[in-house]
Amino acid sequence: MIKESFSIRGVEFKNRVLVASGTFGYGDEVKDLVDVSKLGGICTKSLSWKPRDGNPPRRIVETPSGMLNSIGLANIGVHNFIDEKLPYLRQVDTKVIVNIAASSLQEYCDVLRLLEEQEGIDGYEINVSCPNVKEGGLNFGTDCSMTRRISEQLRALTEKPLIIKLTPNVTHISEFARAVEEAGADAVSVINTVIGMAVDIHKKKPKLSTVTGGLSGPAIKPIALAKVYEVAQAVKIPILGIGGIMTAEDAIEFLLVGATAVQVGTANFINPGTGVDVAEGLRRFAEQHQLADVAQLVGAMESNVEFSILQSWL
């Protein structure tokens, strides 16, 4: 038997493949299509205090190997989540990580405090990096001292795993990872979407209502790998690698550059069972390579450190 599980702050995830926030709803939409008990965990769509309609259309554009979105944190709000979604999530046999987004420090704290009173939540992922809202979002996620403050304040409110989701839209993501590690965060999710845009040449207008949006999918995988690699040099806390993972081979690349686990995102829009397939493929790869523990892949890339330009930033 190969060991597939890993732990964050004492919470054991049965394998190293989670589904990424915003790509799997609240887990219930796909319950007849996907055996969620085969996932390491589910990260919910971001929750704010009040329900949000999000941005006006058009909110999604397909680009080569990618998806550009400007959803604007549309969500049902934390109260409806507790009433309508949490009862289902309580009985699923996988870990439930609730993603929180907010437009003020106070709102992050209010949402987390209310969730702390509920049963059935295994941890929190904090979205400090939505590219599509004016308040909060990237204003927070690109400000290292604000990212640190949010992490410190939320740390004081919970003993559950606290995971901060970092944006790649900064010069040195490793500075942010260090700040949240010092603030007491248990893990980082790397990366959130990359700012991008697309233009309708006939209308001479941007395709998205908000002009720019967040790019995800295979188009960003090389960027994500480099960011995970950079962060892995800088911190000791686990990294959840995200960015364009479609296959087990993609996931293995992330583990080799230093991710402890991965999240599958955009691929869920093509096949919501991708996470389960990736988890199975990862186990098969470990079997074929006669590994006792999938952990043996984490950070196992043999790199030419002397040639790495990254080193000079760290």
22 interacts with ligand DHB by CB under 6 A: yes
Our CB check for ligand DHB shows the closer of 47 and 257 to be 47
The residues, ordered by sequence, that sit 6+ positions from 12 with a Cβ below 8 Å of its Cβ are 5, 6
Q: Rounded to the nearest whole angstrom, what is the least distance from the CB of residue 7 to ligand DHB in the complex?
A: 26
Cα dist from 34 to 19, 73, 74, 113, whole Å: 12, 24, 24, 31
67 interacts with ligand DHB by CB under 6 A: no
Our CB check for ligand DHB shows the closer of 70 and 94 to be 70
Q: Which stretch binds ligand DHB (CB under 6 A): 129-137, 224-232, 242-250, 300-308?
A: 129-137
Judged by CB under 6 A, the chain residues 255 through 314 that form the site for ligand DHB are none
Q: Rounded to the nearest whole angstrom, what is the least distance from the CB of residue 283 to ligand DHB in the complex?
A: 29
**Binder among 73, 76, 78, 191 for ligand DHB (CB under 6 A):** 73
66 interacts with ligand DHB by CB under 6 A: no
The residue number with the shortest CB distance to ligand DHB is: 214
| Residues facing residue 243 across a β-bridge | none
**Binder among 71, 180, 183, 188 for ligand DHB (CB under 6 A):** 71
| Residues facing residue 111 across a β-bridge | none
Nearest Cα to 255, choosing from 242, 246, 244?
Answer: 242
**Binder among 25, 131, 241, 243 for ligand DHB (CB under 6 A):** 131
- 43 labelled catalytic: no
Q: Rounded to the nearest whole angstrom, what is the least distance from the CB of residue 162 to ligand DHB in the complex?
A: 18
Judged by CB under 6 A, the chain residues 187 through 206 that form the site for ligand DHB are 192-193
174 interacts with ligand DHB by CB under 6 A: no
123 interacts with ligand DHB by CB under 6 A: no
70 interacts with ligand DHB by CB under 6 A: yes
214 interacts with ligand DHB by CB under 6 A: yes
Binding residues for ligand DHB, rule: CB under 6 A, are 22, 46, 69-73, 127, 130-132, 192-193, 214
